[in-house]
Structure 1
Amino acid sequence: MGDPREPPEGAPDGGSGNDDEYRSVVFDESFVRAARIQELSASERLSGSFGRATRPRVRLGPLGTVPRQALALLMLILVAFGAAVYFGVSSPNRQAARPEGSQLTVSLVALSPASAVRPAGDPANPFAGLPPGYSDGAVGLGTPSGTATAHFSRVEVTKALDTVQRYLVASSLAPSTLIQGATAEVRAFVTPGEQAQFDDSVTQPVDDRHHALTGWLVRFDPAQVALAADSVKVAGAMRIDEADGGTLQITTDHTFVYALKPAGAPSGAPVTVETVRRQLTFEFDRVDLATAQLRLVDSVLQAGPAPCTVSMAGFLQPVLAGPDGTPPPAPPAVDPGNHARPAWQVCGVLAGG
């Protein structure tokens, strides 16, 4: 009986009667997909709307062999990436690059006494002669309640005001800063983009409008000056504004009054009342608010009684009163034609001095 796999007429001459000899030419799916032509479908053949039995296959170059699902996924990813780039670039609320490098501008003004500097009448109560409106320490800062602005919530504004208040306490009221030379507490408030500028101001203070340490904080030379009272009298206010839609701005304007005496002087020594006005401009973006740090962008300081001939970049240099008063130092003449002297270095006359 014949092999059931053979045709009825028998195996062709020279053949084995099975498919073994054709296995080398079997077309796999990848070969079919890569074919240059495609056969028309049954519906296309029945419709008669064709000119030939085959249609040319659209050539997609390297993508021609990519499965349709993978190609669709690739196109979806490209569209999503393009949309993300477009909205990221065009969004008005996107975070701009954060400022780096020198940003603080400092103006220092010495207030020369108009007459002899006399000690406070009562060393135990050196602030007795101050006009009304001054309070002790942080109370005198007059920190307002936080109110929402166009782009910042009440909570964000309140947090900025709290940061400013704590900075002013650390930089203008803390004895460790005023007379002991400490700077770390103040530096902790400074945003990383300004810390290099702050550090340069500490290590090499110079009145170049950017690196005066007294633009960042109030301090006296402990080798020359000591505090004669534990309290500092303060009067002033704060203003809330926006520099732009992503930057909150707070401006402070305060007068601080310090009771000073010569370093090492005993109790009962003559006390000098030193007056310092600080007008500061702070800026916050939302990263600053989250980290409770600030950018100090402008600082104007007036201090007196002080000599006009001594730099105030590293320490404030008060004219201390002697028992019978100290004659005022003569202010230098200013020659507008002398370009060797910086134009921003100015001196005023202390009212009531």
Structure 2
Amino acid sequence: MPEEEWERFLRESVTGAAGAPVEPSARAREVGRRLREGSGQPEGWRTGSPARPQRRMGWYVTGLVAGLALLVVGLFPQEVVGWFGGNDGGRDGAPLAAESESPREAPGAEPALRPTLAEPFRGSPAAHWADGAAGITVPSAKATGWMDPAQVERALRQSRDFMVATGLDSRVLRGERPTKAIALLNPHQEDVQEYLRTALSSTAPAPETNPLLLFSRFRPEQTRLVGDVVKTRGRLTYREGKRGAVEVTADVTFVYPVTPAGNGGRDAEVVRTIVRRTIVMSWDDPAEVITEPGTMSLISHAVDMTNGGCSAPTGYFVPPFGTAKEQPADEAHQIDPYDRSKPIDTGNGTTATGSDCATATRS
């Protein structure tokens, strides 16, 4: 090789010659392969497919509807229950909403099912009522008469305590002395104190001194409660009374499932004694009326009773075991013991039990 050609070869080996072939990069080789295979343009290595927009409008509408529904239920529970048949006795099995106002009609008919020891409220509207004190609605308190809101709240709570002590206390139901209820009564109200002395000491009380006017009692040697649940439905209301007193009215229905004492067989007879009481209590201003702190005066009391006995008063309920179907029907005087839409006929302020029994349309 001539000397000049050798020197040019060495020079171009170091600097590179124009037009010399260049090794393709890896990406270039990939592009070429895809073009040859007809796969189209490659996706950029810093690019990606745009995300598909999510359609959220349906969820917004659903949430709005659910929120409005919860608001309506919170503001108008009674009406909502009525839309779904709740005012017909909750036949779908759901419990009734608390009674916040006087119902407009009686509960709807229930299936004609016989009560049993396992299901003592079967076939009764009471199956959908609350248990015990939970069934007595207490309104919110506001300043009334001589009391501020806190005092009214206490008076309402003690009024409910009185209804519990007279109609739900297990000792009283067994015939024991109603000491808790008596402690809430004004000891200076002479006519009431005389009633208590006579009613709780006599073995044959007169209708006007029958302890059942205020207290629910059964003879334990004759009757026992089925289970430990008494169903209730009712409410308290209040207003300003005489001399600035806070006058509280309690209207409560109690349903007692009972069976003969000593009969523990699976097929034992179960009878429901149903008692509705209306009691008006006056929480008096001590500056106007002689009273003691934490006590109230009785203004009036009335009672309606079903399956509690139709003979002369004994001071105890006498369920008609074995003779319930034999009771004479008084077509002229029938009552639905579950109908709370009508007031009790108070007459002179006191309804005596045992003197004029009506025929119950159901129990």
Question: TM-score, normalized by length of structure 2?
Answer: 0.55
Tell me which residue corresponds to 1:128. 122
In structure 2, the CA distance between the partners of 1:119 and 1:189, relative to structure 1 (3 Å rule), is farther
Match of 2:306 among 304, 307, 314: 304
1:290 CA drift (Å): 6.2
SS at 1:278's partner residue?
A: strand
SS at 1:199's partner residue?
A: helix
Which structure ranks higher in relative contact order (CA pairs < 8 Å, sequence separation ≥ 6)?
1
Amino acid at match of 1:130: S
In structure 2, the CA distance between the partners of 1:281 and 1:218, relative to structure 1 (3 Å rule), is same
Tell me, yes or no, if the aligned pair for 1:178 and 1:218 is still in contact at 8 Å.
Answer: yes
- 1:1-353 matches, within 5 Å, as 120-131=114-125, 134-192=129-187, 193=189, 194-204=192-202, 206-209=205-208, 211-268=209-266, 269-287=268-286, 291-308=293-310, 310-312=311-313, 314-320=315-321, 322=322, 326-330=324-328, 345-353=355-363
Structure 2 unmatched runs, 5+: 1-111, 333-350
Amino acid at match of 1:296: L
Tell me which residue corresponds to 1:98. none
1:146 CA drift (Å): 1.6
1:214 CA drift (Å): 1.0
1:254 CA drift (Å): 0.9
**Offset from partner CA, 1:145-179 (integer Å, 9 cap, x none):** 22222443212211111111111111101110012
In structure 2, the CA distance between the partners of 1:191 and 1:151, relative to structure 1 (3 Å rule), is closer
In structure 2, the CA distance between the partners of 1:276 and 1:128, relative to structure 1 (3 Å rule), is same
1:127 CA drift (Å): 1.3
**Offset from partner CA, 1:13-56 (integer Å, 9 cap, x none):** xxxxxxxxxxxxxxxxxxxxxxxxxxxxxxxxxxxxxxxxxxxx
Tell me, yes or no, if the aligned pair for 1:119 and 1:272 is still in contact at 8 Å.
Answer: no
1:252 CA drift (Å): 0.9
Aligned partners of 1:307, 1:241: CA distance in 2, in Å? 35
1:307 CA drift (Å): 4.0
More strand by share: 1
Tell me, yes or no, if the aligned pair for 2:249 and 2:278 is still in contact at 8 Å.
Answer: yes
Structure 1 unmatched runs, 5+: 1-117, 335-342
Aligned partners of 1:119, 1:294: CA distance in 2, in Å? 42
SS at 2:197's partner residue?
A: helix
Amino acid at match of 1:303: M
RMSD: 2.8
Runs of 4+ that moved beyond 6 A: 331-334
Aligned partners of 1:328, 1:283: CA distance in 2, in Å? 42
In structure 2, the CA distance between the partners of 1:131 and 1:119, relative to structure 1 (3 Å rule), is closer
Identity across the alignment (%): 25
Aligned length: 223
Aligned partners of 1:267, 1:164: CA distance in 2, in Å? 39
In structure 2, the CA distance between the partners of 1:311 and 1:146, relative to structure 1 (3 Å rule), is farther
Amino acid at match of 2:205: V
